[in-house]
Amino acid sequence: MTHRIALIPGDGIGIPVLEAAMRVAEKASPGLLEAESFPWSCDHYLQTGRMMPEDGIETLRGFDAIFLGAVGWPEKVPDAVSLHGLLLPIRKAFVQYANIRPHRLLPGVQGPLRKDAFDILCIRENTEGEYSGAGGRVHQGTGDEVAVETAIFTRTGVERILRFGFEQAMGRSKRLASVTKSNAQKYSMVFWDEVTRELAAEFPEVQVSHYHVDAIAARMVMAPETLDVVVASNLFGDILTDLGAAIQGGLGFAASANIDPTGKSPSMFEPVHGSAPDIAHLGTANPIAAMWSLVMMLEHLGEVETAARIMRAVEATTARGIGTVPGRDKTDEITAAVLSALEE
Amino acid sequence: MTHRIALIPGDGIGIPVLEAAMRVAEKASPGLLEAESFPWSCDHYLQTGRMMPEDGIETLRGFDAIFLGAVGWPEKVPDAVSLHGLLLPIRKAFVQYANIRPHRLLPGVQGPLRKDAFDILCIRENTEGEYSGAGGRVHQGTGDEVAVETAIFTRTGVERILRFGFEQAMGRSKRLASVTKSNAQKYSMVFWDEVTRELAAEFPEVQVSHYHVDAIAARMVMAPETLDVVVASNLFGDILTDLGAAIQGGLGFAASANIDPTGKSPSMFEPVHGSAPDIAHLGTANPIAAMWSLVMMLEHLGEVETAARIMRAVEATTARGIGTVPGRDKTDEITAAVLSALEE
Ligand SMILES: CC(C)[C@H](C(=O)O)[C@@H](O)C(=O)O
Ligand SMILES: CC(C)[C@H](C(=O)O)[C@@H](O)C(=O)O
């Protein structure tokens, strides 16, 4: 069975890492993925005035999954424009409310922490909250200017991501960490805590811990081995997953899946690293995060065996010390190593 | 000259650490601080229905500084109530807009990172932004519930904290990292970026870097040595300074000053750690963070020599391995060691 994939390489290192991952996919299972590539990006914006065409979302809807490289190049287009024009609308339009990001050290990778035994699965709310895009500015440019940014949390949004978190916890260690800042944000985060407590009653087997975001950020560095499934709002999940990427050795290793768990819309898979304009010309972008994201995409599409084979090849590569040190190896070398590991 | 200090031990380990720090102050310079203690806390709330009396702020106004232990005991009083009833109103009422938190490893302390050479000064906005307390909930308790939490940033608030950050940078390495999330929050954080750029023009000697909060969180773990002065909003500063506490070996070492730089109101000094109800009965609260906060208070009061002597005694103590491992040594032992180091 062939799966139709929309490829959005996007900007900067998004382009070479996606190409690398697709070579691996084709080698692992020729013809399994039928990809169509879309040039939507900051360059596209400069040419057309839009990050993606007006019917971009409708175009994507027909695919089985979306594989995205990275969006953003602040020197060309302000981030607030590029991200609100491409990445964020896809997450929202396709109700990809669960952003899943695994954090563990691949073999051969030395992380920045002295501790190296941890395995955290971050579940990030992906459609609302602090990313609602509601707000405005008055008295702009004057000494009286005020800017407001409103986080909006709905019952539907909070409940479904927490439920997803509880379900993931049931499939792992049955331990769930729920992240808020309810000591300072007394509307949104107190609400989140309440819904967490309600769902905890539905999942009596799951042991729930409540953390403030500052405390769990510290814990991820001091005692990451005490965490398993972590569920957080859009912004808190964003911060914690970059931190997760850091403790797993850097953004070159951090994969993610933006899932619509109902299956009604296509889900999107992307490395966490972003476009990294500063290193885009060096040819040293690490394709491992993109390959791991590909693995998550294949799992989502039900191709668990191919996914497992690719993951084994990636791990065999890092175990040999290839692609393990940020900026040292060329994208092509790392890709070649994974391709040859696939033959073993 | 005697300085009048309002002591608010508060809850949990706030009480023993403040007592320990005051013993050190008295030993270092007998009679220098004239302290009056206030029992405001969660227990006080249970007795009186208020975290502090209605005229609490007016009472505090007469002091030269406030020395606070910790506030909060969620099993007694919801955090949202206790913090909004005591800690947060003091920061706001006295326009303590600059929350200063130093992050470096004290001698003898092994941090969680392999890297140990860093010296970061976090400057956190302390009066508005994501902690404005504006928001509400509709359709409460129903499936249609919506909770909103509005971050409010004013020109005055943003400009003064950034100016303070630039000034601190001028007094250190002339490198300033400004933290936003302007790729996702297009009103508040884009505004912050604009004001940063304006001030950068006023301080041409300062080299400014713009980081998204997720990226700088990762950087604090991957490459903390590349950061010096970091200026961030209330929430981002909260998260980054707990992370700073983590990389400096834990919350037992993290000091803070809540400063009104105009000098019109009393400033407040507090360890970052919080009340830690779970370990409050063990007698192992680390008083080092409170002592370091005392040092910051003495510096603020112009007592730089006494401050330096206490800091040397604290560092001599940790250099001997006392108070360096969370939970191992008793508060009293650590305090005794600092007191005797003061005699050397
Ligand atoms: C680029 C940015 C808008 C995005 C986010 O904040 O969601 C990124 O940091 C991520 O984590 O996927
Ligand atoms: C207790 C809490 C409200 C407080 C804050 O978030 O400001 C604390 O975490 C801190 O960092 O001082």
d(CA A228, CA B259): 38
Q: What is the DSSP letter of B277?
A: G
A290-338 tens-digit pLDDT? 999 999 999 999 999 999 999 999 999 999 999 999 999 999 999 999 9
Mean pLDDT, range B181-193, rounded to an integer: 96
* Contact check, Cβ <8 Å, A83/B144: no
Per-residue model confidence (pLDDT) at position A29: 98
Tell me, what's the pLDDT at B126? 97
Under 8 Å between Cβ of A103 and A241 = yes
**Residue A101 placed within a domain:** no
Of B131, B183, B215, the CB nearest to A242: B215
Question: pLDDT per residue over A24-71, tens digit each?
Answer: 999 999 999 999 999 999 999 999 999 999 999 999 999 999 999 999
- Kindly state whether residues A133 and A163 are assigned to the same domain: yes
Tokens found for residue B237: 């500063």
Instruction: Kindly provide the residue ranges of all beta strands, DSSP E only, lying in chain B, ordered along the sequence.
Output: 3-10, 33-37, 65-70, 98-104, 119-125, 129-138, 146-154, 175-180, 207-212, 229-232, 255-259, 267-271
CB contact under 8 A, B145 and A155: yes
pLDDT in tens, A130-163: 999 999 999 999 999 999 999 999 999 999 999 9
- Asked if B182 has any chain A CB less than 8 Å from its own CB, the reply is yes
Residue B178 Cα distances to A268, B135, B232, angstroms: 31, 27, 6
Domain count, chain A: 2
Determine whether the interchain pair A222/B112 forms a contact, defined as Cβ–Cβ distance below 8 Å: yes
Residues of A in contact with B136 (CB under 8 A): 187
pLDDT value at B299 more than 90: yes
pLDDT digits (tens, 9 = 90+) for A70-107: 999 999 999 989 999 999 999 999 999 999 999 999 99
Whether the pLDDT of residue B336 is over 90: the answer is: yes
Considering the domain architecture, whether residues A122 and A150 belong to the same structural domain is answered as yes
Domain final residue pick, A219, A247, A275: A247
Gap between the Cα atoms of A107 and B98, Å rounded: 43
Chain B 234-293, residues with CB within 8 Å of chain A CB atoms: 234-235, 238-239, 241-243, 245-247, 250-251
- pTM higher than 0.85: yes
Is the Cβ pair A221, B221 closer than 8 Å? yes
- Flag whether B44 is in a domain: yes
Whether B291 and B305 map to the same domain: the answer is yes
Please tell me whether residues B198 and B176 are part of one structural domain. Answer: yes
Give distance in angstroms: CA of B234 to centre of ligand 2: 9
Taking residues B280-297, report their average pLDDT: 97
Write the residue in B80, B110, B214 that is nearest to A242 by C-beta.
Answer: B214
| Cβ-Cβ contacts under 8 Å for A321 (sequence gap 6 or more) | A108
Does A121 share its domain with A242? yes
Which pLDDT score is estimated for B157?
A: 98
Q: Does the beta-carbon distance from A182 to B79 stay under 8 Å? A: yes
Residue B106 located in a structural domain: no
Q: Which tens digits make up the pLDDT trace of B157-172?
A: 999 999 999 999 999 9
C-alpha to C-alpha distance for B192 and B209, rounded to whole angstroms:
13
Among A79, A132, A238, A270, the mutation site with the greatest number of ligand 1 atoms within 8 A of its Cβ is: A238
Rounded CA separation A217/A211 (Å): 9
Could you say which ligand is closest to the alpha carbon of residue B184? 1
Query: Quick one: average pLDDT of B46-56?
Result: 97
Task: Compute the distance from residue B265 Cα to the ligand 2 centre, in Å.
Answer: 20
Using a CB–CB cutoff of 8 Å, tell me whether B137 touches chain A: yes
B251 lines ligand 2 (CB under 6 A): no
| φ, ψ dihedrals at B160, nearest 5° | -70, -35
What pLDDT digit, counting tens, does each position of A250-291 carry? 999 999 999 999 999 999 999 999 999 999 999 999 999 999
| Residue B54 to chain A, least CA–CA distance (Å) | 21
**CA B106 from chain center: how many Å?**
17
* Residue A283 CB contacts under 8 Å (≥ 6 apart), including other chains: A16, A330, A331, A332
Q: Which residue of B has its CA nearest to A186?
A: B80
Residue B130 lies in a domain: no
Whether residue A301 lies inside any domain: the answer is yes
Nearest atom, ligand 2, residue A214 CA: 9
Q: Kindly tell me the burial class for residue B339, based on how many C-beta atoms sit within 10 Å of its own C-beta (0-12, 13-18, 19 or more).
A: middle
Provide the chain A residues 92-131 that lie in CB contact (below 8 A) with chain B.
110, 112-115, 130-131
Question: What is the CA(B238)–ligand 2 centre distance, in A?
Answer: 6
Nearest CA to ligand 2 atom 5: B238
Q: pLDDT at residue A193 above 90?
A: yes
Question: What's residue A4's pLDDT?
Answer: 98
Does residue B233 share a domain with residue B121? yes
Going by CA atoms, what residue is nearest to atom 6 of ligand 2? B238
Residue A169 tokens read as 């916890």
Pair (A241, A151) in one structural domain: yes
- Whether B191 and chain A come into contact, CB under 8 Å, resolves to yes
Residues B224, B121 share a domain: yes
- Is the Cβ atom of B183 under 6 angstroms away from ligand 1? yes
Has residue B107 been placed in a domain? no
- Secondary structure of residue B153 in the 3-state scheme: strand
Contact A184 CB / ligand 2 (< 6 Å): yes
* pLDDT score, position A2: 96
B208 and B263 part of one domain: no
> Is B1 a residue whose pLDDT tops 90?
no
- CB < 8 Å & 24+ apart, contacts of A40-44: A40/A8, A40/A10, A40/A86, A41/A9, A41/A10, A41/A11, A41/A14, A41/A71, A41/A73, A41/A86, A42/A11, A42/A71, A42/A72, A42/A73, A42/A76, A42/A77, A42/A82, A43/A11, A43/A73, A43/A76
Q: Which domain holds residue A87?
A: 1-96+264-344
Domain end marker among A247, A276, A302: A247
Q: State residue A275's pLDDT score.
A: 96
Q: Is B131 among the domain residues?
A: no
Calculate the average pLDDT of chain B. 97
Q: Which residue among A83, A147, A185 sits closest to B149, beta carbon to beta carbon? A: A185
A93: Cβ below 6 Å to ligand 1?
Answer: no
Ligand 2 atom closest to Cα of residue B242: 11
**Does residue A222 share a domain with residue A122?**
yes
The predicted structure's pLDDT at residue B80 = 87
Q: Do residue B137 and residue A187 have CB atoms under 8 angstroms apart?
A: yes
| Residues B231 and B255 occupy one common structural domain | no
pLDDT tens-place string over residues B241-273: 999 999 999 999 999 999 999 999 999 999 999
CB neighbours of B251 closer than 8 A, spacing ≥ 6? A218, B242, B245, B271, B272, B273, B274, B289
Cβ(B226) to ligand 1 under 6 A? no
Instruction: Report how far ligand 1's centroid is from the alpha carbon of B177 (Å).
Output: 19
Q: How far is the CA of A126 from the centre of ligand 1 (A)?
A: 10
CATH number at residue B287: 3.40.718.10
Q: How far is the CA of A83 from the centre of ligand 1 (A)?
A: 8
Task: Report if residue B133 sits inside a domain.
Answer: no
Q: Which of A247, A275, A291 is the last residue of a domain?
A: A247
Residue B308 confidence (pLDDT) above 90: yes
Please choose, from the candidates B135, B130, B133, B189, the residue with its C-alpha nearest in 3D space to the C-alpha of residue B162.
B189
Tell me how close the Cα of B307 comes to any Cα of chain A, in angstroms: 28
Percentage of chain B lying above the pLDDT 70 cut: 100
Burial class of residue B76 (count of CB atoms within 10 Å of its CB; 0-12, 13-18, 19+)? middle
User: Which residue type does A118 have?
Assistant: F
Residues A152 and A39 in one domain: no
CA atoms of B286 and B338, how far apart (whole Å): 12
| Whether the CB of A218 sits within 6 Å of ligand 2 | no
